[in-house]
Structure 1
Amino acid sequence: MSARPADHEVLPDADAVARAAAERLVAVAAAKSGEVGVCLSGGSTPKLLYRLLAGPDFRDSLPWARLHWFFGDERVGDGPEAGSNRRLAEEAFGDLVPPGRLHPIPTDRPARDAAAAYAAELRIWYGADRLDPARPLFDLVLLGLGEDGHTASLFPGKSEVEESEAWVVAVPEAGLSPFVPRVSLTLPALGATPLILFLVTGEGKRAPLARLAAGEDLPSGRAKARGETVWLLDRRAAG
């Protein structure tokens, strides 16, 4: 059995995965005349992507004044890990993002309060309290695949995976290190988009890909866009 999702592309390496994602993002932004909402992921491959977007190959191709950047999850609390995804984007994008266009998850309060605050911010962005199947929350969602099969901060066997109403949840106990509180968008919120891109690189991702291919019910396998869900794999992950 192939350990690859049905809708996937196999690319030479992590740099090629980042470049393919950048090209998709540019195309999404170009196809829309108004504000564009992008939900970001953390990790090493997104870091390559963000640096690429801010670099000479893509910087001038993006309508930075129309782009709004959100986050699929974040570590919160008073530890050094808190805010790592926000810092990743800030360090890569620098002053390319106009004020008010980067929407970080609060990290200076308990996870439950941070989740409530971010849900309120998403409702303001969306302009409604309930998701409309005919209107997406984001234009593009970037996700990763954990070695345990998690995505965002939705971990196997945790109750947050089953949330069907809330857009954002507190995750008091992560499923793997670092075991710090987190905030995560839910599957309904992550799926409220015409396009999800999974960025998957490295040999450590072969095992969860095989588990998904075997039909195991993992959070990453449940994340489905309303339109396309595309897995961008490098050769080491694809096997």
Structure 2
Amino acid sequence: MEALAESPKVKIFDDATKIAQAAAKSFIELGREAIAERGCFTVALAGGSTPKHVYELLASEDYKDQLDWSKAHIFFGDERCVPPDDAESNYRMANEALLSHVGLPDKNIHRMNGVGDAVANARLYEDEMRTYFNDAAWPRLDLVLLGMGDDGHTASLFPNTSVPDERDAWVSGLWVEKLGSYRITLTTPAINHAAHIIFLVTGESKARRLAEVIKGEHDPARLPAQLIKPLDGSLQWFVDAAASSRLSNPGEDT
């Protein structure tokens, strides 16, 4: 196995609160740039507690008026196969924390349908994305927010499943044996065609795996997060001190 050729940009913050503040600032800056350049901003949201803090900040009085939300289109990196009002739904979390507070038109919210057959719903979501992106070869999202599990997964690209190796589809539905549940996820190439990708990683429980993903040998079957390498874009890791504790020469310290 080969070592990763180049380390991505890693920014280390004191805690999850500082990460959320930095991510919210980047979200606003990238959104305003995209709207100024092309008249719209496309972003894929992540689930999880750290992204939730980002969304709550974006919905706060200090942030929400800094972006023209009518020109933002919201997609999702992955979704659990549950109804949209289920406590486990990524859409529900994002809607309660952000989407319902900023005046987004309903047509600008592109949620994954978690009810019914995961594979069929993945195809329908890909159709919706292809329509939005005018049947481009791949979607060009302005921003993708990602988390990383302590097993090295990101979005719903899990170790020892076939989906991380998907090279043709934009969206896949899959059964995750270790979780005993179905998921829908953007595929590796769909994510890697984004203009900007930001990982949000917190907690000591992620430290060993984070070091393996960023500094370890290339082993994407075991560590799917290593597959995230934008083809023509930027990749940043926003991590807290606890998660970064096993990194050496981590890059930029904030």
* TM-score (structure 2 length as normaliser): 0.85
Letter of the 1:61 counterpart: Q
Residues 80 and 64 from structure 1, CA distance in 2 versus in 1: closer, same or farther, beyond 3 angstroms?
closer
Among candidates 3, 11, 14, match of residue 12 of structure 1:
14
Among candidates 58, 65, 74, match of residue 60 of structure 1:
65
Sequence identity of aligned pairs in percent?
Answer: 39
Among candidates 70, 77, 86, match of residue 75 of structure 2:
70
> What is residue 199 of structure 2 aligned with on the other side?
198
Q: Aligned with 1:137: secondary structure?
A: coil
Letter of the 2:106 counterpart: P
- Tell me, in whole angstroms, the C-alpha distance in 2 between the residues paired with 1:149 and 1:229: 17
**How far off its partner does 1:6 sit?**
3.7
- Tell me, in whole angstroms, the C-alpha distance in 1 between the residues paired with 2:239 and 2:135: 35
Letter of the 1:184 counterpart: T
> What is residue 115 of structure 2 aligned with on the other side?
108
Report whether the alignment pairs 1:234 with 2:240. yes
**How far off its partner does 1:144 sit?**
0.6
Question: CA-to-partner distance for each residue in 1:63-118, whole Å, 9 max, x for gaps?
Answer: 11111110010011469868610001110122422221111101121101110110
**How far off its partner does 1:22 sit?**
0.8
Residues 127 and 80 from structure 1, CA distance in 2 versus in 1: closer, same or farther, beyond 3 angstroms?
closer
In the TM superposition, structure 1's runs of 4+ consecutive aligned residues that sit over 2 Å from their partners are 77-83
CA contact (8 A) 2:45 2:144 kept: yes
Letter of the 2:242 counterpart: R
- Tell me, in whole angstroms, the C-alpha distance in 1 between the residues paired with 2:163 and 2:149: 16
> What is residue 162 of structure 1 aligned with on the other side?
165
Q: Aligned with 1:145: secondary structure?
A: coil
Residues 35 and 6 from structure 1, CA distance in 2 versus in 1: closer, same or farther, beyond 3 angstroms?
closer
- Tell me, in whole angstroms, the C-alpha distance in 1 between the residues paired with 2:18 and 2:55: 13
* TM-score (structure 1 length as normaliser): 0.90
- Tell me, in whole angstroms, the C-alpha distance in 1 between the residues paired with 2:74 and 2:67: 13
- Give matches, 1:10-159, under 5 Å: 10-32=12-34, 33=36, 34-77=39-82, 84-93=89-98, 94-96=100-102, 97-131=104-138, 137-159=140-162
Question: CA-to-partner distance for each residue in 1:148-203, whole Å, 9 max, x for gaps?
Answer: 000000011111010011000111225x43x2100010011011111100000111
Question: CA-to-partner distance for each residue in 1:10-36, whole Å, 9 max, x for gaps?
Answer: 001101111111111111111123111
Q: How many residues align?
A: 229
CA contact (8 A) 1:140 1:195 kept: yes
Residues 194 and 106 from structure 1, CA distance in 2 versus in 1: closer, same or farther, beyond 3 angstroms?
same
Residues 20 and 43 from structure 1, CA distance in 2 versus in 1: closer, same or farther, beyond 3 angstroms?
same
Letter of the 1:15 counterpart: T
CA contact (8 A) 2:164 2:224 kept: yes
- Tell me, in whole angstroms, the C-alpha distance in 2 between the residues paired with 1:9 and 1:185: 25
- Tell me, in whole angstroms, the C-alpha distance in 2 between the residues paired with 1:138 and 1:72: 11
Question: CA-to-partner distance for each residue in 1:206-235, whole Å, 9 max, x for gaps?
Answer: 021122222242211111222110000011
Question: CA-to-partner distance for each residue in 1:102-135, whole Å, 9 max, x for gaps?
Answer: 111011211011101100011011001522xxxx
User: Could you list the runs of 5+ residues in structure 2 that have no partner in the other structure?
Assistant: 1-6, 246-254
CA contact (8 A) 1:52 1:58 kept: yes
Letter of the 1:211 counterpart: E
- Give matches, 1:212-231, under 5 Å: 212=213, 213-217=215-219, 218-225=223-230, 226-231=232-237
